[in-house]
Chain A
Amino acid sequence: MSKKGLTLKIFWLILCDNLASSAAQLLMKKGLRFPAEDFFSFHAIFNFILGNIASPVLWLGISIYALSFFVWIVILSHVDLSVAIPLTSTDYVLVPFFAIIFLKETVSPLRWVGIATIILGIYFISKSGKQALARNLS
């Protein structure tokens, strides 16, 4: 079996998968028409599920979520879980980035600091991945 590092290909795959699951989560949030009344009664949970089950937007979100599962499984067959999961934080970088470009939103200085900190964190994780991978696949 060949050794595979955190290649650029896998990095892009994680990025695309994150975008898909972020979009899915937004759709699910939009698709929820009935809030949950209570978390500790089966009746309330049942009503929560029943009240929302007919929402097409919720199902579109769930479908994209399901598709991103397979992409995620492919990712996990290549890298450590403790490398892959921190890299899902690229969401927090991409979403404000798209908000600036497409929605012309302004980003506060503190957010820029946050984005820069996350990018630095991802850089550190990518350095770790290269040594940890050989074990993982052996």
Chain B
Amino acid sequence: MMAAMTIILLGESFTTLGQILYKKNMNRLDARSLKSIGSYFAFMRDVLLLPGIWLGLFSMAIGLIVWLVALSRFDLSLVFPASSILYVLILLASRVFLNEKIDAMKLIGTSLIMVGIIAITLG
């Protein structure tokens, strides 16, 4: 149980780091209108030219490998609810590293979602 929690926390920390890197880099890249197929390819090219995105992908890959290790060892009914720790990590990290405003709506919403996930897994 403790081993599972530690591994999941480790994996979700890498996932959080990856998401923060994605978002930080997307904040730097101009949001543009994506109308034609060509504009999507140009957007994908620009995204892949950002080194920070690759760092994020690397961090997500480590998170994914840790997650796969957890999945191969532990029951899905334990891994799923335990993974909802991600929501807490993301709220904290968005506040600290991205200066996103964490208002009451986000706190209430995220808490309800976590309670819901636990209920679904118990049910």
Q: Identify which of residues 60-102 in chain A touch chain B, using a CB-to-CB cut-off of 8 Å.
A: 65, 69-70, 72-74, 76-78, 80-83, 85-86, 89, 92, 96
> What are the residues of chain B within 8 A of A43 when measuring CB–CB?
none
> What are the residues of chain B within 8 A of A119 when measuring CB–CB?
116
Given A81-B20, A118-B113, A111-B90 contact (CB < 8 Å): no
Given A70-B44, A92-B116, A124-B109, A132-B101 contact (CB < 8 Å): yes
Contact A1 B94 (CB under 8 A): no
Given A76-B22, A125-B110, A131-B103, A111-B72 contact (CB < 8 Å): no
Across the interface, A85 reaches (CB within 8 A) one of B57, B90, B116, B121, namely B90
Residue in A70, A73, A108, A122 whose Cβ sees the most chain B Cβ within 10 Å: A73
Q: A11 near B: Cβ within 8 Å?
A: no
Q: Smallest CB–CB gap between B100 and chain A, Å?
A: 5
Across the interface, B30 reaches (CB within 8 A) one of A1, A74, A123, namely A1
Q: B43 near A: Cβ within 8 Å?
A: yes
Q: B112 near A: Cβ within 8 Å?
A: yes
Contact B100 A136 (CB under 8 A): yes
Q: Smallest CB–CB gap between B45 and chain A, Å?
A: 11
* A132–B70 CA distance with the chains assembled, in angstroms: 35
> What are the residues of chain B within 8 A of A114 when measuring CB–CB?
115-123
Task: Name B residues whose Cβ lies closer than 8 Å to a Cβ of A.
Answer: 7, 19-20, 22-23, 26-27, 29-31, 34, 43-44, 47, 53, 57, 64-66, 68-69, 71-73, 76, 86-87, 90-91, 93-95, 98, 100-103, 105-106, 108-113, 115-123
